[in-house]
Amino acid sequence: MRALGITLRVLPILVLGLLLHYVLPQHDVVKVTSTEVIRTDFSSFNRIFYAQADSGATELTTRDLRLINTEKKKTFLLGFVPRDATGVMVYRNEDTGWIWPPYFKFDSSDLQAEAASAARTDGWAVITHYGWRVRWASIYPNAIAVRPVDGPDVRVIPWFNIFFFGFLIVAIVMLRKMWFQFRERALDPALDTAGDRMDEVSAGVAEKRSGVRKWLNTWRKKENRK
């Protein structure tokens, strides 16, 4: 039972952490090598990891998918500590539109042109994206923005994530205080009142049982006298 209780507490935190890691923006220092467009068939498994078709286009089970091929600067600790090694990384380039996650991206064509320009200059750039790269399921992170940088050693500070988690911590602390105040002012007095009423009812029932027993005892005494 204790293990089950720990699991029920940890599982929601784990699910929330994975969701935030997927939808929050991440920044990769890359060298764009090429861009391409491939024809993609979506399966029932990986369809949820893709955005909708471009704004104004018809949603189909198979469609063209823009890809941005790069050499990525490898990192430790979810991108906070850079490494000297590099590896390949492929990003998709899709409109998110008005759906989840709320990046409101409508300029995938322009972004593809920017990525192609970065590939011709052979310079380093920072790609802002969300999502995961899962090779065996053909899942790609979705690129949101591309901007050139001076070199591979540039340090990118995730300001949005810092402010988001700061706001989340403050909101959790405020909600916790509001809950304790609500419980102290409303729930605890109501529970105490309910407990007092239950005690009164129990005392009344016990008193009635005692009266019935006394009455039965008087009849037993009369029978014994006979």
Q: Are strands 124-130 and 142-148 parallel, antiparallel or unpaired?
A: antiparallel
Most confidently modeled of 5-9, 37-41, 65-69, 203-207? 65-69
Nearest in space to 66 (alpha carbons), one of 126, 123, 114: 114
Tens of pLDDT, residue by residue over 113-142, are: 999 999 998 889 999 999 999 998 889 999
Output the pLDDT for position 184.
76
Residue % of the chain over a pLDDT of 90: 40
Output the pLDDT for position 46.
77
In contact, 163 and 174? CB cutoff 8 Å:
no
Give, in degrees to the nearest 5, the angle at Cα 140 between 31 and 12: 120
Q: Is pTM, for the whole model, over 0.85?
A: no
Q: Determine the average pLDDT of the residues in 134-153.
A: 91
Output the pLDDT for position 50.
81
User: Residue 11: pLDDT above 80?
Assistant: yes
Tens of pLDDT, residue by residue over 192-201, are: 666 656 665 5
C-alpha–C-alpha distance, residues 56 and 79, integer Å: 35
Among 22-26, 46-50, 75-79, which is the least confidently predicted range?
75-79
User: Residue 188: pLDDT above 70?
Assistant: no
Q: What is the mean pLDDT of the chain?
A: 81
Tens of pLDDT, residue by residue over 95-110, are: 988 888 889 999 999 9
Predicted confidence band of residue 185 (pLDDT cuts 50, 70, 90) = confident
User: Residue 78: pLDDT above 70?
Assistant: no
Nearest in space to 160 (alpha carbons), one of 175, 145, 174: 145
Nearest in space to 69 (alpha carbons), one of 152, 138, 158, 140: 140
More confident residue, 212 or 12: 12
Specify the amino acid at residue 172: I
Beta-bridge partners for 92 = 67, 142
User: Residue 152: pLDDT above 90?
Assistant: no
C-alpha–C-alpha distance, residues 93 and 116, integer Å: 12
